Amino acid sequence: MSDNLVIAQVSDMHIGASDVLFKGINARQQLIKVLKVLAKKPLDLLVCTGDLAALEGEPEAYAWLKHLLSDFPHPYLLMAGNHDHVGRMQSIFEIPDKNITEGMLYFSRVIKTTRLLFLDSTSYRIPRQQLDWLHNELSVHTEPALLFIHHPPLLCGCQFMDERYPLQNRDELWQELVQFPQVEHIFCGHYHTDKIVSKNDKFIYLTPSTVFQIDTENDTFLIDHTKPGWRMIEWENNYMQTYVDYL
């Protein structure tokens, strides 16, 4: 079996409690169209990197998404964003207890020999429990690992999001990450844009939303465009290829 790992990342789906327009856009139909494209790809994994729900973890949104994903032909993993509710996610999606500690959804997986790490930034922070867990994981497992977080661990040159909604303890998280060279690639959502930011030989990949993208040059909220996007990740022999597609 090949160790070539193929992952699709979707983020910031903002599914509402009903099939109503979200900022004039049908978020459910956007996601349906994206998943139809991804269903035809040879994926090992689909990762949904948070803000599954539109506002505050609406259970109706999770129930709809669970039904939609029941027909998706590839394995998937869910992460929580600041618009999600971990308790309701666990109940509706039947997330294993081992993935949740003190109400936070963070965990690791090994798929095709590659370690994947997932953090929970629903509180706009990575709390100390998670920082300690991450430190231990990376101290014990020294092989290259891919890290997924809803919020990026740096400011990213996106004015509105950097000023209004950044990760609050990003410096604390970055101090942990710089200790471990095996984490070079960090995949995030939250910013509703496609961008790559690098620092200390690490790369932060911002993945667009399936609903709308935010203008990065404006310090007030402004939609750049409403094309739904996703990221493809291909990892083989410690070599990364990644790109964003839009419908």
The domain tally of the chain equals 1
CATH number at residue 74: 3.60.21.10
**Residue 97 has what DSSP assignment?**
G
**pLDDT range class, residue 124, cuts 50, 70, 90:** very high
- CA torsion 214-154-45-68 (nearest 10°) is -40
b/e 204-213 (16+ beta carbons within 10 angstroms → b): bbbbbbbbbb
For the chain, the first-to-last Cα distance in angstroms comes to 32
Q: Which helix (H) or strand (E) holds 75?
A: none
Q: Which helix (H) or strand (E) holds 170?
A: helix 170-177
Crossing angle of helices 27-39 and 59-69, rounded to 10°: 20
Does the pTM surpass 0.95? The reply is yes
Domain that holds residue 9: 5-246
**pLDDT range class, residue 2, cuts 50, 70, 90:** low
pLDDT, position 243: 98
pLDDT, one tens digit per residue, over 28-79 is: 999 999 999 999 999 999 999 999 999 999 999 999 999 999 999 999 999 9
